A and B are shown apart, each in its own frame.
Chain A
Amino acid sequence: MSGARDSERGKLFTRRAAMLAAGQAGLTAALAGRMYYLQVLESERYGILADENRISLRLLPPPRGLILDRFGREMAVNRQNFRVLVVREQTPDLMQTLDSLSTIIPLSEKDKTRIRREVERKRAFMPVNVRENLTWEEMAQIQINAPELPGVVIDEGLTRFYPYGEGGAQVLGYVSSVSEKDLTGEALLELPGFRIGKAGIEKIYDLALRGKGGNSKVEVNALGRVIRELERKEGTPGTDISLTLDLELQQFAVERVGEESAGVVLIDVHTGEILVMASTPSFDPNAFNRGLSSEEWSALINNERAPLRNKCISAQFAPGSTFKLVVAMAALEAGVITPEQTVYCQGHIDLGTHRFHCWKKHGHGSVNLVEAIQHSCDVYFYEVARRVGIDRIADVARRFGLGSPLGIDLPNEVSGLIPDRAWKRALNGQPWLPGETLNAGIGQGYVLATPLQLAVMAARVANGGLMVRPRLTRDPVAHATGKPAPEPVLAPTGINPKSIALVRRGMFEVVNNPAGTAHRVAFDLNGMRMAGKTGTSQVRRITMKERETTGVIKNDALPWRERDHALFVAFAPTETPRYAICVVVEHGGGGSAVAAPIASDIMKEALRLDARRNRPPAPPPEVKA
């Protein structure tokens, strides 16, 4: 190879090398340009993205507001709940750790399988719930044995607790896990273990009770593990709700009703504040919080006495003879009868071909209005109802709170039913039949009312015809200022006070006249006496054949579902009425035998408690800040 050729080859190489160098310089410039683009021009955007990557917002659940009775006694509280968790990455052998743990707290094979499955699903540093609601002893045991229990962590949280269990369970309601359909997009609801109100006060005031969640800004790595907390903002605890209930009286009522399936409402006739709202049988609201087994759930659902239902507002009954108070006022208002005019009761009355029976087979003889109430004479009310007509009865009934929801602050209030001509036409296009008026005259047939409505009816009779409205929570203004709310100005029912006074007179005789239907429950507490009205409403048809052959079958001989409802409405004291009460014992039998004694005892207790507290009652409790 000649030197000249070699130098030619060298020159070519130099040219090519220069081109390569230029190319490399170009590519390097591209890198620098890209760096400028990413790190200068787009830096801000990527900076935000980086913060989003590493900063995670953790919600802090707020403590749920308390539910208090009228004297500030706690009916629903938050109890410290110790739960035991296990963290996989901190334990060398999960199953062995669980075995050691099960010597302290019993763990079934089923529990262990669940825990293992959950552990496998989650990332190694995520704690998995082993058991909630540890007792103090269990917690202490675990703490002492901590060295032998690697990866076992005790966590402290708040759970809802109802110290009085079944007493007032349907009013308070309960809290339970958030289900799919409850999700509203609020982040709190998505917290694991978060509980919301599912019934009663817990449900209707859920938003207020819930409070606002706080948050904690934490730095996390790509796997979601918390490295450290950057910032913490505490939330707002839920608002406490003060009820009008008197816990002590409520407890007494529940115990007094005992095994019966009943609804009891005791109401202040001037303010409408409900002191007792008891529905039996009841359930343990705490069970919902810990989670019901499917057996427990179906036992509650399939119980024919419906423990979950608040019978005071969600069940409606034919009011029976208690409705005669309305019919009496309607008759006096319409002028179809005077207080002195009598009707002769021979045990039945005929309308066309149909015979309507009085509950007293051989009749009451001649009775005037007060006597008719006192004896609860059916024939008298058949007759006056026939004279007044259904529309005018319905009008008075509505003024006394029947036939539509009263707007109580609880879910699932039903409206009851006060029929009239228009209603019947709208129902099935049929005209109203005269016989139906007679049935309605003794609170049977289509007429339906809730225990709350009947209590309100009694209250409006007792207070002289003022349209008091029932309420279950104390005024929020009073909450905030500590001053009692001004007494609401009540609209009158528009019924002549004389008519009302006459009805009250009849109710007085029911209890206090030795011939009254409820005389056995009469009492005299330092001059305070009770006035009332019994009611027994039929749920089955009594055939002519039954009446003539065997006679009307006694309640005891009937299956529970076919027995009569026992009702009693009352107010006391008779001179200066303060409380009205309604007791409905579902399929309980006769009103005077079953419902009246319960109502009487509860009323007596209410008056006794008042006397002991030296009325007026203590001002509303201080609201917790």
Chain B
Amino acid sequence: MVMDFRSLQERLRQQDMTLGEKLRQISWTYALLISVVASVGFCMLYSAANGQWEPWASRQIVRFGIGFAAMICLALVNIRHYLRYAYIFYAISLVLLVAVDLRGVIGMGAQRWIDFGFIRLQPSELMKIALVLTLARYFHGLSIEDIGRPTALIAPLLMTLVPVALILKQPDLGTALMLLMGSGIVFFAAGVRLWKFAVVIAAGLAAIPVGWGMLHDYQRNRVLTFINPERDPLGAGYHILQSKIALGSGGVFGRGFMQGTQSHLNFLPEKQTDFIFTMLAEEFGMVGGLALVGLYTLIVAFGLIIALRCRHHFGRLLALGLTANFFLYVFINIAMVMGLIPVVGVPLPLISYGGTVMMTLMCGFGLVQGVNVHRDLHLGRRGGGEEP
């Protein structure tokens, strides 16, 4: 038996830790925070079903369990592999996305799933991770001078816009916007100059009239309803109005667990999915709502710290990109149910009922944990340990 006399630090850099050492490097506090938020979700789903584990809470627990295991497994994989296979993973996601358009299953008026028989895959969910991975890999390979060149931005812009266009075509405005904003954050973190963002945003604003013409009626209605919710109190405005009534009537301390009248009497639509925050705020009041926002802030802060502590650019961008995506989900969902932004079909991460989203999230956390485990690794431009 050969004793390994190299210091742990050394071995971290070389990335040949034992399994046990890797497990110890996982941030268990981070994992605990995630579990706490998920548990809040279980309670809310239990309440949403009027004090029943069926049909939502029990299934959500199973999914979280599987997701948690997946997170740990992904965290242990050498991060080099993610770097190496980033483009391939992206290509597969893109092909699946095209495939959805070709032979998708019609669901909710939009083609979003591929049915493999044993699992219904939602390529747009896959793409959320694939896009961050592939952008991180791309910017990892660019020097600081390269980033200054506008031509260097053509490839990542295409990488972003092609899947965004495909998802828009499904049509899924919410996810497309999320993807756009998520990758924008990676661009920003990678150091793209601010005036370039200004140009893109200006171009985007100029395109609004064109885009308006391409929107579906229900999407236009959502935007118009957002601007004036009283416009159609029993139709499209109903959700926002009922959500605000439920939230507002909760007051500071709420009506108490399982005592929310609006949600339990079904005035609140989609209470187990998109509007679950409303139910929480009705039952636990502003105190409960702020506590949950606090927990989310902690999770985001942990993600940021992991990104900052990472010594390679790929890891930094990956952790930050995924964390920012997570934050976007949280913000958009909560802002939506409080009537700050239009109704977009974005679930509340870790709490809303839904299998695919839970798996995507936990995979994302797995990658962030992976960055934490492999934070001190030497990572070359193509994923080798070589110095250029």
Residue B340 contacts which of A8, A34, A43, A219 (CB distance < 8 angstroms)?
A34
In the complex, identify which listed stretch (B14-22, B110-118, B198-206, B286-294) lies at the interface while the others stay far away: B286-294
Answer yes or no: A1 CB below 8 A from chain B CBs. Answer: yes
Say how far A553's CB is from chain B's closest CB, in angstroms.
74
On whether the beta carbons of A42 and B293 are closer than 8 Å, the reply is no
- A17-B308, A222-B265, A227-B265 in contact; A46/B249 too (CB < 8 A)? yes
On whether the beta carbons of B286 and A53 are closer than 8 Å, the reply is no
- Binary contact track B325-356/A, C-beta < 8 Å → 1, others 0: 00100010011001010000000000000000
Answer yes or no: A36 CB below 8 A from chain B CBs. Answer: yes
Answer yes or no: B266 CB below 8 A from chain A CBs. Answer: yes
On whether the beta carbons of B188 and A223 are closer than 8 Å, the reply is no
Answer yes or no: B304 CB below 8 A from chain A CBs. Answer: yes
A580 to B335, CA, bound (A): 86
On whether the beta carbons of B248 and A43 are closer than 8 Å, the reply is yes
On whether the beta carbons of B265 and A17 are closer than 8 Å, the reply is no
On whether the beta carbons of A14 and B308 are closer than 8 Å, the reply is yes
Which of A24, A36, A50 has the most B CB atoms < 10 Å from its CB? A50
Residue B289 contacts which of A10, A35, A54 (CB distance < 8 angstroms)?
A35
- A14-B308, A53-B262, A53-B267 in contact; A20/B248 too (CB < 8 A)? no
A34 to B313, CA, bound (A): 36
Residue B286 contacts which of A19, A27, A40, A47 (CB distance < 8 angstroms)?
A40
Chain B hits for A10, CB < 8 A: 313, 316
- A46-B249, A47-B251, A220-B265 in contact; A36/B286 too (CB < 8 A)? yes
Say how far A374's CB is from chain B's closest CB, in angstroms.
82
Which of A13, A14, A219, A227 has the most B CB atoms < 10 Å from its CB? A13
Answer yes or no: A615 CB below 8 A from chain B CBs. Answer: no
On whether the beta carbons of A50 and B251 are closer than 8 Å, the reply is no
The SS class assigned to the B binding surface is helix
- A16-B189, A31-B331, A39-B289 in contact; A47/B144 too (CB < 8 A)? no
Chain A hits for B167, CB < 8 A: none
Chain A hits for B297, CB < 8 A: 28
Residue A1 contacts which of B245, B261, B388 (CB distance < 8 angstroms)?
B388
Answer yes or no: A49 CB below 8 A from chain B CBs. Answer: yes
Number of interface residues of A (CB under 8 A): 42
Chain A hits for B304, CB < 8 A: 17, 20-21
Answer yes or no: A45 CB below 8 A from chain B CBs. Answer: yes
Chain B hits for A227, CB < 8 A: 265
Chain B hits for A6, CB < 8 A: 313
Say how far A458's CB is from chain B's closest CB, in angstroms.
67
A27 to B181, CA, bound (A): 14
Residues of B in contact with A, size category: 35 or more
On whether the beta carbons of A54 and B290 are closer than 8 Å, the reply is no
Q: Of residues 214 to 267 in B, which have CB atoms within 8 Å of A's CB atoms?
A: 242, 244-252, 261-262, 265-267
Answer yes or no: A183 CB below 8 A from chain B CBs. Answer: no
Q: Of residues 431 to 476 in A, which have CB atoms within 8 Å of B's CB atoms?
A: none
Answer yes or no: B191 CB below 8 A from chain A CBs. Answer: yes
Answer yes or no: A12 CB below 8 A from chain B CBs. Answer: yes
Chain B hits for A39, CB < 8 A: 247-248, 250-252, 281, 285-286, 289
Chain B hits for A336, CB < 8 A: none
Chain A hits for B388, CB < 8 A: 1
Closest Cβ neighbor of A27 among chain B residues: B331
A210 to B317, CA, bound (A): 78
On whether the beta carbons of B265 and A46 are closer than 8 Å, the reply is no
Answer yes or no: B29 CB below 8 A from chain A CBs. Answer: no
- Binary contact track B283-311/A, C-beta < 8 Å → 1, others 0: 00110011001000100110010011000
Chain B hits for A221, CB < 8 A: 265-267
A515 to B304, CA, bound (A): 127
Closest Cβ neighbor of A43 among chain B residues: B251
A19 to B334, CA, bound (A): 22
A432 to B360, CA, bound (A): 106
Chain B hits for A552, CB < 8 A: none
Chain B hits for A21, CB < 8 A: 301, 304
On whether the beta carbons of A24 and B265 are closer than 8 Å, the reply is no
Q: Of residues 173 to 205 in B, which have CB atoms within 8 Å of A's CB atoms?
A: 185, 188-191
On whether the beta carbons of A13 and B265 are closer than 8 Å, the reply is no
A222 to B334, CA, bound (A): 23
Chain A hits for B317, CB < 8 A: 13
Chain B hits for A485, CB < 8 A: none
Say how far A29's CB is from chain B's closest CB, in angstroms.
10
On whether the beta carbons of B324 and A20 are closer than 8 Å, the reply is yes
Chain B hits for A46, CB < 8 A: 244-249
On whether the beta carbons of A38 and B262 are closer than 8 Å, the reply is no
Other A-B pairs beyond A35-B289, A47-B249, A222-B266, 6, CB < 8 Å: A13-B320, A43-B251, A50-B249, A53-B245, A219-B261, A222-B267
Which B residues lie at the A interface, using CB under 8 A? 143-144, 185, 188-191, 242, 244-252, 261-262, 265-267, 281, 285-286, 289-290, 293, 297, 300-301, 304, 307-308, 313, 316-317, 320, 324, 327, 331, 334-335, 338, 340, 381, 388
* Between-chain CB contacts (< 8 Å), 12 pairs: A5-B144, A9-B144, A17-B307, A20-B324, A31-B334, A38-B244, A39-B250, A39-B251, A40-B286, A42-B248, A43-B249, A53-B262
Which A residues lie at the B interface, using CB under 8 A? 1, 5-6, 8-10, 12-14, 16-17, 19-21, 24, 27-28, 30-32, 34-36, 38-40, 42-43, 45-47, 49-51, 53-54, 219-223, 227
| The 4 A-B residue pairs with the shortest CB-CB distance in the complex, in nearest-first order | A46-B248, A50-B249, A221-B265, A39-B286
